[in-house]
Amino acid sequence: MKEIILCFLDITSEALEDNWLNRVAAAVAPTTNRKRNGKIAPIVHVEIWFRDTEADGYACSICYGKTVHWHKKKFSRVWFFRSLWTDDASYAKVKSFCMQQRGCKFNALGFYLLPLMKIQGTWPTLFGFRSRYFCSELVTTALKHGEILPKTQASTIHPEALFNLIAPISSVSSIKSENFGSISY
C-alpha cells in the first residue's frame, strides 16, 4: 500500500497570503463547522504530496496566476493532512498525472464561476491548448485519474468540498518537521 497525502490550508492559516482571492474563496466555500480562534475557517487551498521521508517529498498544486508545480517540498504543521492509502498502480497513475500537468495554467474562468456553474479546465483543449486547473480541480482530477475517486465525480469543486468528499475515505495524518520557510499562497 502506498500513501498519498492531501494537504489543506484554511483561510486563517499563517502560510496563506491575505488577499482578495483567498477571501472570495472563503466567502463562497460550502458550509463548514470548522473553527479556528473562534472564527469559521473554510479550506481554501489544497496540494497533493507524495512523501519520500517523514518530512519531505514531492508536492503538486497550483496557485492563482502561476502554473502547476511539481517540486520537492516540506510542509509545516499549519496545514491539515489527510492520508489516502492505495495500491501501487493507482499511486503510480496519480503521480504520473501530476508530473505531466507541470506548467499548466490556472483555470481562472472556472474558479471565478465556481459558485454559479462548473466550467472544467479542459475548455482550452478545444483550441489546441493544455488543460487549466485551480488547486482542488487539479487534485480531484488526479484522484479520478488514479481511480481513487469515481470518474463520475465532478472535478470542479471547492477545496472545502474536496476536504469533505475525501474525509470518509481518508485518515487524519500528521508530519514531524519544521516550517518550510516563507512560502505563502
Domain positions in the chain = 2-173
Higher pLDDT, 147 or 31: 147
Q: What is the pLDDT of residues 86-132, one digit of tens each?
A: 999 999 999 999 999 999 999 999 888 888 878 888 888 888 899 99
Could you give the percent of the chain with pLDDT greater than 70? 91
DSSP 52-110: SSSSEEEEEE--TTSB-EEEEEE--TTSEEEEEEE-HHHHHHHHHHHHHTTTPBB-HHH
Question: pTM for the whole thing?
Answer: 0.88
Residue entry with cell 486563517: 12
Q: Which range has the worst mean pLDDT, 5-9, 131-135, 177-181? A: 177-181
Average pLDDT, the chain: 88
pLDDT of 179 > 70? The answer is no
How crowded is residue 139: how many other Cβ atoms within 10 Å of its Cβ? 29
pLDDT of 41 > 90? The answer is no
Q: Which range has the worst mean pLDDT, 43-52, 84-93, 129-138, 167-176? A: 167-176
- Split at pLDDT 50, 70, 90, the class of 166 is very high
pLDDT at 23: 87
